[in-house]
Structure 1
Amino acid sequence: MQPNPAGGTVERSAARPNAILAIILISYFMILLDNSVIFTGLPSIRADLDLSPGVLSWVQDAYTLVFGGLLLLGARAGDLLGRRRLFVAGLSIFGVASLLIGLAPTGWWIVAARALQGIGAAIVAPTSLALITAHFNGRERARAVAWYGATAGIGASLGLLVGGALAAWISWRAAFLVNVPIAVAMIVAARRVLAETGRSRGRFDALGAGYATLGMGALVFGIVSAAEYGWAAPVALAGLAAGVLLLTALVFHESRAEQPIMPLRLFRDRERSGAYAARMLYMGAMIGFFYFTTQYLQDVLGFDPLQAGLGFLPMTAVNFAVAMAIPRLSDRLPRAALLTAGVAATAAGMAWLSRLDAGDTYLTAVALPMLLIGAGQGLAFAPLTSAGIARIGSADAGAASGLVNTAHQLGMALGLGILVAASTRTAAPGSAPGGAGGVAAHVSAALTGSTVLLALALLVVMLVIAPARQTPSTVPATPINDSKREEATA
């Protein structure tokens, strides 16, 4: 065992940093892919399994519900049990679930398997970021977080492309079966390459875990129900009310717990709290971008699923190129400046895209705004992720990573619910609801809502996160080595 500068221990040094980072990012990318690969595969799934609209919606909602509900639990379990050990367990669950989805003969089977897949994702997502914190320090950590941010940024758009290509060339089942060999390879590689992190001592906060899991689950259930049935529907109101009550109880309990699953001290740092809020707003806007732009490409411009996936390539290419330049840019510009520029560019691109209508062309109405959105994502994700884990020691790495991913998932669920509700209240004068003009009007309204969410995220960045860089953290840092003292402000 050797000390980890963040305050914990690892079994051996990170002798192969590129291999370590590759294992973490490929695994994280795999679960991100399944957030969006389902969008282009849903029509084929519905036809193949003869699903009703209600059951079809649960193919996505079951994954979202379980993923969002278990994130904090998965993050804390890594702190107590060892992150490599839990990372491998999460990959195993995800791989088995992907196999079950690919073999699904009925609707109930695929819904149950998607829920199981959500359990694996809720373990892998926060553990992957915590492993970066454990294995990398200083400039290497900045580089690793930049790659992590790039992965988060391009995962959704490539998921649409992969899902569309496999559905068109092979079958929707292939989009899930491809996870199986990837998961097996990553499990073998993780056991050989990743160092095990030290376990935190103490008891597991069972009551806090129950409040967090049930509260997040109820809140996500209320949001997805509101998107399907409306915000005034009893099932949506009941879910939202239960979620709020349970999360309120969580905060009350955590303020008194000796070893909380969600340490409230994490929120005392202004930069981190602002990062969680900004990430929720940003991801709420971006899920609307993917969900509704896909509809415009297929239902208005007449693209098939594969063409729709390819339609996001301008954004993906620019996003990746900009994200890879972040470590160099970070040496010259403050993190807050990069984040501000990224969110502002994304908002400008979204505002441009929201002006589309049924008579527009792909190049001017979609591709050119996507370049701005892609550049904005490339600039924003890495500093936003870094801000969410700023000044975090090893003891809190899992909890902070869990909060970053919880904000990510909750923001997508809440954003989609709000934007679906906003779009359904819009109709194009003289256009049939299912016609090109009606679809374009719905998409335009939803993307206008995404622009508003991004404007709010920009306000949070400018008023909360940027000023916080000028003030010291109010959270006591975990003791670290003098030689690595600079990590306290990384």
Structure 2
Amino acid sequence: MTHSASHTQAHHHPPADPRRWAALAVICVAQFMLILDVTVVNVALPDMAADLRLDRATLTWAVTAYTLCFGGLMLLGGRLADALGARRTLLAGLAVFTAASLVTGLAENAPTLLGGRIAQGVGAALLSPAALSIVTTAFHGTERNKALGVWAAIGGSGAAAGVLIGGVLTDGPGWQWVFYVNVPIGLAVLATLPALVPARAPQPARLDIPGALLVTAGTASLIYGLVEAGDSGWGDSATLVPLAGAAVLYAGFAAVERAARAPLMDLGMFTRRPVLAGAFLMLVATALLIAYFFLGSVYLQHVRGFSPLRTGLLFLPMAVATALGAHLAARLVGRVGSRAVAVGGMVIAALGSVPLTRLSDDGSVYTGLLPGFVVASLGLGAVFVTATTTALGMVDHHTAGLASGVVNTFHEVGGSIGVAVVSTIAAAGIDAGTVGGFTDAFTACALAAGVSAAVAGGLVPRGKPQLTGGPHVH
């Protein structure tokens, strides 16, 4: 018996499964597809709009419908993984996601496209928490930290690869292939996974389906109102009614959660300052980053006439900067504390956004747009890590899973809200193909980052987080 095996058994863990690293590799491929689909669509948007005659609102929903369902239903997906077994839930989610990808690629009109994106989001919400559950139960001790490190790296590289792969596929075989590419990969994972992941007995769990539906409907209503404001104005009933509806649905969600015996989200978590701070940072950072991808892609292709591939390549330094910011923050948080890194990251994001407010119809994107994007992304990468470490490193070990679920939800939903807001502010520019609306939207981003830096200074607790090795954000 090796030292590591005797060490493992001394801690009352079951014997390590020899297939666990192969299983991790296959599970990470599945998770990579889900993360890829958040950003891969951005570069394909102008071609999709031209082919399917999509207006600005539909174009916005092509991005947000996926992240909305992914984020809104993720906590329910985690409960289903407990109730039905993680392997079964993962395979079901992957089957739904793969079939939905085929439908979305075949779409010839807006309803089919958006229906496919919604179904992709549902599949992702089932797959991702089940996959993370399998990773955390298959590994123990220092191995678990290594496995979770691989998992976290997939999240960062998936978003980065999305913009480049989106450009290559859209410029090559066509925008449909940003969805078709998931089909053979999904089928391959479906075929190999059952042999690598053992079936485990499901745990009895209550399902809070009303809670999941209310929070998703509330966010959908909020996004609908935000997008509608771009066409009808902020004071029009077409904007105000869905926004009021969102408030009612969120209030209903809060009431259901308080009354439920097994609530989807323990609202008491938000009375814990580290979790509230982590959720806030994650919401704003994701909103800004996905907004930059959305605005940048439409500006470069629609206003400046760039090809999808050239656009994807231009986004690559931005993706590298995000990863670099995350890497630096991971080292700094333990030395200077969460608050300093969070405020610093948001200030850097605000400074990076300033050159974007001065874009023109003919100036060089390599001296204006690109440096601004890279600096802003560096700051946001630091905020992502701080959001996770604050929420998970300053709560008890046994609540780390709950805190992780809250932060993950705000990660996906933040992207939806960010795109909806900037799409509305930039509406005139997107419709007319002029720079005016884009500079307004980037000004709003700069202000949001600046205000968030001030809020973080008061909200993020002092001190240095102690990571428990619990579940991590993707």
TM, length-normalised to structure 2: 0.82
Structure 1 residue 179: deviation in Å? 0.4
Output the CA distance in 1 between the equivalents of 2:146 and 2:232. Answer: 44
2:443 alignment counterpart: 448
2:432 alignment counterpart: 434
Q: Identify which of 83, 88, 92 aligns with 1:85.
A: 88
2:4 alignment counterpart: none
2:113 alignment counterpart: 110
Structure 1 residue 93: deviation in Å? 0.7
- The answer as to 2:262 corresponding to 1:267 is no
Output the CA distance in 1 between the equivalents of 2:156 and 2:228. Answer: 27
What is the CA deviation profile of residues 131-173 of structure 1, one whole-angstrom value per residue up to 9, with x for unaligned ones?
5554556766665555555544454443232222111111212
- The answer as to 2:456 corresponding to 1:461 is yes
Q: Tell me, yes or no, if the aligned pair for 1:146 and 1:327 is still in contact at 8 Å.
A: no
2:34 alignment counterpart: 31
Structure 2 residue ranges without an equivalent (≥5) = 1-7
Q: Tell me, yes or no, if the aligned pair for 1:227 and 1:420 is still in contact at 8 Å.
A: yes
Q: Identify which of 384, 387, 395 aligns with 2:387.
A: 384
Output the CA distance in 2 between the equivalents of 1:400 and 1:383. Answer: 14
Output the CA distance in 2 between the equivalents of 1:18 and 1:327. Answer: 25
Output the CA distance in 1 between the equivalents of 2:339 and 2:194. Answer: 37
Q: Secondary structure of the residue that 1:303 maps to in structure 2? A: coil
Structure 1 residue 74: deviation in Å? 2.0
Decide whether aligned partners of structure 1 residues 348 and 78 sit closer, same or farther in structure 2, where only a CA change above 3 A counts.
Answer: farther
Output the CA distance in 2 between the equivalents of 1:413 and 1:230. Answer: 20
Structure 1 residue 119: deviation in Å? 1.0
1:430 alignment counterpart: none
1:476 alignment counterpart: none
Output the CA distance in 1 between the equivalents of 2:216 and 2:421. Answer: 23
2:5 alignment counterpart: none
Q: Tell me, yes or no, if the aligned pair for 2:35 and 2:159 is still in contact at 8 Å.
A: yes
1:481 alignment counterpart: none
- The answer as to 2:246 corresponding to 1:243 is yes
Output the CA distance in 2 between the equivalents of 1:134 and 1:387. Answer: 23
Q: How does 1:48-447 map to 2 (within 5 A)?
A: 48-49=51-52, 58-135=61-138, 148-194=151-197, 199-227=202-230, 229-323=232-326, 334-390=337-393, 391=395, 397=401, 399-424=402-427, 434=432, 438-439=434-435, 441-447=436-442
Decide whether aligned partners of structure 1 residues 315 and 229 sit closer, same or farther in structure 2, where only a CA change above 3 A counts.
Answer: same
Q: Tell me, yes or no, if the aligned pair for 1:278 and 1:460 is still in contact at 8 Å.
A: no
Output the CA distance in 1 between the equivalents of 2:137 and 2:37. Answer: 26
Letter of the 1:434 partner, please give it: A
Structure 1 residue 176: deviation in Å? 0.8
Decide whether aligned partners of structure 1 residues 393 and 211 sit closer, same or farther in structure 2, where only a CA change above 3 A counts.
Answer: farther
**Structure 1 stretch displaced more, 414-423 or 268-277:** 414-423
Q: Tell me, yes or no, if the aligned pair for 1:349 and 1:372 is still in contact at 8 Å.
A: yes
Structure 1 residue 262: deviation in Å? 1.1
Letter of the 2:167 partner, please give it: G
Q: Tell me, yes or no, if the aligned pair for 1:143 and 1:327 is still in contact at 8 Å.
A: no
Letter of the 1:73 partner, please give it: L
* Equivalences, count: 461
Q: Secondary structure of the residue that 1:312 maps to in structure 2? A: helix
Computed over aligned residues only, the root mean square deviation of the Cα atoms, in angstroms, reads: 3.7
Output the CA distance in 1 between the equivalents of 2:161 and 2:319. Answer: 7
Q: Secondary structure of the residue that 1:358 maps to in structure 2? A: coil
Output the CA distance in 2 between the equivalents of 1:486 and 1:115. Answer: 34
Seq. identity, %: 31
What is the CA deviation profile of residues 222-252 of structure 1, one whole-angstrom value per residue up to 9, with x for unaligned ones?
3343455443343433322222212212212
Q: Secondary structure of the residue that 1:362 maps to in structure 2? A: coil
Q: Tell me, yes or no, if the aligned pair for 1:150 and 1:319 is still in contact at 8 Å.
A: no
Letter of the 1:456 partner, please give it: V
Decide whether aligned partners of structure 1 residues 54 and 340 sit closer, same or farther in structure 2, where only a CA change above 3 A counts.
Answer: closer
Output the CA distance in 1 between the equivalents of 2:362 and 2:131. Answer: 44
Q: Secondary structure of the residue that 2:354 maps to in structure 1? A: helix
